[in-house]
Amino acid sequence: MALAQILSACTPEEPERPETYGCTEMEAPRIEFGELLGLYRGMPTELLTDGYLEGVVISSDGEGNIFGSIYLQDRAQDPRYGVALKTDLVGSGALYPPGTRVRLFLDGLYLGKQDFGYAIGTVREVFGNPVLDRLPALATSQRLIPGCTDPVPVSPRAVYADGLDSTLVHTLVRIEDVEVAAEYKGKTYAEEGVETLVPLSGCTGTPLGLVNSGYADFRDQLLPGGSGAATGILLGKAPDYHLLLRYASDLEMTSPPCTERYPPVSSQHLLISEIADPDNEPGARFIEIYNSGESAIDLKGWSLLRYTNANTEPGRPADLSGMRIEPGSTLVFSADPDTFLATYGMSPDAVLPPNGPADSNGDDTLLLMDPFGEVVDIFGVPGEDGTGTTHEFEDGGAIRRPGVLKANPIFDPSEWLIYNDSGGNGTENQPKSAPGDFSPGSHPAGA
């Protein structure tokens, strides 16, 4: 991914310190962030307005890790929108310190995308195609006008790595409970002159990246070995979010490593609650797990496995690391998220590979394994083709009876309501159709 802070070889002109806009109302109309971003048309879009955008500066190039952009968000706390202003201005952190309320005059500028977030700048053509470019330094100081008040404290949005979403891109976030990947601990932030992407992960296992410039003042400092919080500008999109630091102090990792703070756990309260093989739509298959306990369960190290037909060896495990399941809640997994959404009117909680645990055609064995390699819950019998047995759910489904609140590592058909297209062996000859005959995300069924 091309990132905004890559250093250019050019030497921009030095602007004078911009005048403040005063404390009085202006004749030009104020354009709200939401209104502005709604003007984007999928390519650099010219802004034909004499209005201005008012926001708060959240970035700084003071330690050299950010170049070519000034990041703004709509308010100092709990922002709803963020945008990058592409600029050649060097030393913006001194002219517009974080917390400075500014007005950006928009007439003739262009709205586009950068690092999967919205950005404003000028435009140039590359092989006949318009490309968003940086605003010259002098023009930046003429268009970006600071307010008359002192900078205000900016509070980053506190979030966990598994809670990141696209609405936070180009805003200031503080990601809790993260650590540097083991192979990078003790290495420098970046190689000199080379942009470096350092892998981070949440303590639940959710991955993300730390973007470090090879020209940052702290590039030769050593990355921390513990865990803690990382503050910065959020870039990217799921599942490849990146964090752009402003200062070395934005990385606060003085706590012990995640493995010491959050050791893997097993639980009998995590169980398979529903499996679907709809007669009318194979793409609407899913598997659901349920937490019957009173505490959230971190799924780091947990996995779902599928024994296909009579195979005695499972397929590749589906790793559930990076997810957490709240008490009394479910997680729903699909192998075909588009069809799942079109069928049930909701998205699955996670997508698993085709031909895996979320894509069974009704004659397989499915099991839930804890971080220690122990089978916690199972549906079916490994090594036994399910056709014509107590665990066939072809063209139907299997629902855990509401009274079953603990997992069982040994398959017990009496714990299940099982439907298929043939019946027998304690199953019901009742093919099931999606969406009406299934209840993904709700257990007990219909609750």
Residue 318 shares a structural domain with residue 411? yes
Select from 210, 226, 261 the last residue of a domain: 261
Q: How confident is the model at residue 324 (pLDDT cuts 50, 70, 90)?
A: confident
On the question of pLDDT at 2 being above 70, the answer is: no
**Does 189 fall in a domain?**
yes
On the question of pLDDT at 249 being above 90, the answer is: yes
Stretch 96-115: mean pLDDT: 97
**Does 285 fall in a domain?**
yes
> Each residue of 191-213: pLDDT tens digit?
999 999 999 998 888 899 999 99
User: pLDDT value at position 25?
Assistant: 64
How many residues are listed for the chain in this entry?
Answer: 447
Of 5-19, 137-151, 219-233, give the lowest mean pLDDT range.
5-19
Stretch 44-66: mean pLDDT: 96
**Does 18 fall in a domain?**
no
Which strand (E) or helix (H) includes residue 141? helix 137-143
Closest CA to 288 of 346, 203, 202: 346
**Does 19 fall in a domain?**
no
User: pLDDT value at position 22?
Assistant: 56
**Does 20 fall in a domain?**
no
Residue 412 shares a structural domain with residue 309? yes
User: Higher confidence at residue 65 or residue 25?
Assistant: 65
Contact between residue 57 and residue 102 where contact means Cβ atoms under 8 Å apart: yes
Q: Which residues of 59-87 are buried (b: 16+ CB within 10 A; e: fewer)?
A: bbbbbbbbbbbbbbbbbbeebebbbbbbb
Residue 256 shares a structural domain with residue 275? no
User: pLDDT value at position 215?
Assistant: 97
Of 25-34, 218-227, 352-361, 387-396, give the lowest mean pLDDT range.
25-34
Judged on CB neighbours under 10 Å (0-12, 13-18, 19+), 101 is buried
Can you list the positions of beta strands (E) in 188-226?
A: 196-202, 207-212
Residue 113: CATH number of its domain: 2.40.50
Report the distance separating Cα 443 and Cα 447, nearest Å: 6
Contact between residue 203 and residue 209 where contact means Cβ atoms under 8 Å apart: no
Residue 173 shares a structural domain with residue 209? yes
Backbone phi, psi, residue 131, to 5°: -130, 135
Rg (C-alpha) for the chain, rounded Å, is 27
On the question of pLDDT at 16 being above 90, the answer is: no
Residue 293 shares a structural domain with residue 420? yes
**Does 399 fall in a domain?**
yes
On the question of pLDDT at 3 being above 70, the answer is: no
Distances (CA, A) of 74 to 24, 102, 283: 19, 10, 41
Residue 330 shares a structural domain with residue 367? yes
Select from 126, 146, 166 the last residue of a domain: 146
Q: Bridge-partner residues for 255, per DSSP?
A: 227
Residue 323 shares a structural domain with residue 415? yes
Backbone phi, psi, residue 59, to 5°: -115, 170
On the question of pLDDT at 12 being above 80, the answer is: no
Report the distance separating Cα 36 and Cα 445, nearest Å: 44
Contact between residue 273 and residue 290 where contact means Cβ atoms under 8 Å apart: yes
Stretch 288-301: mean pLDDT: 93
On the question of pLDDT at 13 being above 70, the answer is: no
Q: How confident is the model at residue 28 (pLDDT cuts 50, 70, 90)?
A: confident
**Does 356 fall in a domain?**
yes
Contact between residue 360 and residue 275 where contact means Cβ atoms under 8 Å apart: yes
Q: How confident is the model at residue 385 (pLDDT cuts 50, 70, 90)?
A: very high
Distances (CA, A) of 170 to 79, 173, 297: 10, 9, 31
Residue 357 shares a structural domain with residue 287? yes
DSSP state of 415: G
Of 274-278, 324-328, 342-346, give the lowest mean pLDDT range.
324-328
Residue 109 shares a structural domain with residue 225? no
User: pLDDT value at position 1?
Assistant: 38
> Each residue of 255-273: pLDDT tens digit?
999 988 888 899 999 999 9
- The range of the structural domain enclosing residue 172 comes to 157-261
> Each residue of 120-136: pLDDT tens digit?
999 999 998 999 999 99
> Each residue of 68-87: pLDDT tens digit?
999 999 999 999 999 999 99
Q: Domain count of the chain?
A: 3
User: pLDDT value at position 167?
Assistant: 94
On the question of pLDDT at 26 being above 90, the answer is: no
Select from 261, 286, 312 the last residue of a domain: 261
Distances (CA, A) of 191 to 217, 247, 252, 253, 401: 12, 17, 21, 21, 57
Q: How confident is the model at residue 8 (pLDDT cuts 50, 70, 90)?
A: very low
Q: How confident is the model at residue 19 (pLDDT cuts 50, 70, 90)?
A: low
Residue 288 shares a structural domain with residue 255? no
Stretch 57-63: mean pLDDT: 97
Q: How confident is the model at residue 162 (pLDDT cuts 50, 70, 90)?
A: confident
Closest CA to 303 of 288, 316, 282, 318: 318
**Does 172 fall in a domain?**
yes
User: pLDDT value at position 17?
Assistant: 58
Stretch 305-332: mean pLDDT: 94
Average pLDDT, the chain: 93
Report the distance separating Cα 385 and Cα 391, nearest Å: 9
Q: How confident is the model at residue 21 (pLDDT cuts 50, 70, 90)?
A: low
Contact between residue 408 and residue 377 where contact means Cβ atoms under 8 Å apart: yes
Closest CA to 277 of 88, 438, 99: 438
Residue 194 shares a structural domain with residue 138? no
Express as a percent the part of the chain with pLDDT over 90: 86
Residue 252 shares a structural domain with residue 302? no
Residue 323: CATH number of its domain: 2.60.40.1260
On the question of pLDDT at 102 being above 90, the answer is: yes
Task: Look up the pTM and report it.
Answer: 0.70
Contact between residue 98 and residue 246 where contact means Cβ atoms under 8 Å apart: yes
CA dihedral 288, 292, 293, 298 (to 10 degrees): 0
Judged on CB neighbours under 10 Å (0-12, 13-18, 19+), 108 is middle
Closest CA to 332 of 280, 291, 294: 291
On the question of pLDDT at 11 being above 50, the answer is: no
